[in-house]
Amino acid sequence: MRLINLFKIAIAAIRRNKMRSFLTMLGIVIGVAAVIAMLAIGQGSNQSIRETISSMGTNLINVMPASQNRGGVQKGRSSSQTLDVADVTYLKNNSTLISAISPELDGSGQIVYGSNNWPTSIYSGNEEYSFIKKYEVESGRTYTTKEIKNAAKVCLVGQTVIENIFTDDVDPIGKTIRFNNIPFKIIGTLKEKGDNTFGQDQDDMILAPYTTVMKRLFRQTHLRAIVISAKSEEQITETSAEITKLLRMSHKLKDSEDDDFEIRTQEELISNFGSISEMMLVLLGSIAAISLVVGGIGIMNIMYVSVTERTREIGLRMSIGGKGRDILRQFLLEATLLSVLGGIIGVVFGIVTSNVVANLLAWPILITTDSIVLSFLFCTFIGVFFGWYPAKKASALNPIEALRHE
């Protein structure tokens, strides 16, 4: 049999049974589209969490006071005062692996400018702080070493703060705002960072020298945290081990004593949140797998029923000279055409659906080639296999039996 004739026969058969062809394709379209959309949502949120975490800092290591537990009373982290500026100096002088280090203090308060006021947060560190926490100056400048030394009342402001306390025509640089009644002169503005995955506005903040915050605002000597950059992502673990060792030495802890500080690395954050988002990915993946199986069973059913239904047609084709292999090829080609076409439509549909979800619900999505290839191959395979299998049986029939089939 000629290939061109085979195509003629298969296409004629598809057109003759439009409803059946449509239903077969529908099963595949839904299966493929569901998998692509589910994986896009799952992988999208996964990626967005990763991005958020890595936007938190450059190879970031956070050292915090350990929450104290004395006499069975959990006192909480904020009340422990085990870290101070001396620790920062000690680490800086003794560590070989640290690339940058800064004390960190933060807190919340009310900004007042003229008749406008706005509740926000203040973050503070030394001259390396911006590098470690990935803050970039948009206009103006950051504070100098001298300003840190003098505990100068200067600050940089985030975009949300600017929007809420200044009118459009005002240049914030040079203006003086009050934060919890302390006047701060604005020397620079920060580049927009946007919301993180947890919906937190990263631009709703001001940034000041830690000395100012320590001495003038909170009047405390202990730090909320020490933030450190490792030289590279690979060296984060090694660096935190070194920090642990150095801090235990400087805090003169005995071997029997627990650390009075706690180290959190960016990597740990990623793996913590990563495992949550991986769980979500698995969940969405299972939903996708279920829709694949359901779609697959649908395809299987229609293919199976259609071949049974068409046994008389098979009998006729054989009685006028169609060979078993001609019949089999015809059904295989029909199934392949439908499955591939359905698969392509499914891919398009899946991408469109993902983007609609992304736009309407503002969910992060990530469509990967893997998810497209995987779902496409799986569905077309099911379509082709279940088109082939019953046809294989039917084409082995005696033409007379097939013709008599009711």
Partner 1 sequence: MNKQTIIEINNLHKYYQVGDETVKALRGVDLSISKGEFVAVMGTSGSGKSTLLNILGCLDLPTKGDYFLDGENVKTLNRNQLAEIRNKKLGFVFQSYNLLPRTSALENVELPLLYNPLVSNSERREKAEQALIAVGLKDRMKHLSNQMSGGQQQRVAIARSIVNNPVVIFADEATGNLDTRTSFEIMALFQELNDKGMTICFVTHEPDIAKFTKRNVVFRDGFIIKDELIENRNNANHALAQLKEETYSFDN
* Binding residues vs partner 1 (CB under 8 A): 1-2, 4-5, 8-9, 12, 16, 312-313, 315-326, 398-400, 403
State in angstroms the smallest separation of the CB of 394 from partner 1.
14
Nearer to partner 1, 5 or 176 (CB): 5
Nearer to partner 1, 89 or 319 (CB): 319
State in angstroms the smallest separation of the CB of 397 from partner 1.
11
State in angstroms the smallest separation of the CB of 308 from partner 1.
16
Nearer to partner 1, 22 or 363 (CB): 22
Nearer to partner 1, 139 or 398 (CB): 398
Q: How far apart are CA 383 and CA 396, in angstroms?
A: 21
Nearer to partner 1, 11 or 282 (CB): 11
State in angstroms the smallest separation of the CB of 321 from partner 1.
2
State in angstroms the smallest separation of the CB of 294 from partner 1.
30
In the block, residue with structure tokens 């298969």: 10
What is the DSSP secondary structure assignment for residue 201, as one 8-state letter?
A: B
Nearer to partner 1, 15 or 70 (CB): 15
State in angstroms the smallest separation of the CB of 17 from partner 1.
8
Q: Are 348 and 28 in contact (CB under 8 A)?
A: no
State in angstroms the smallest separation of the CB of 332 from partner 1.
16
Nearer to partner 1, 6 or 97 (CB): 6
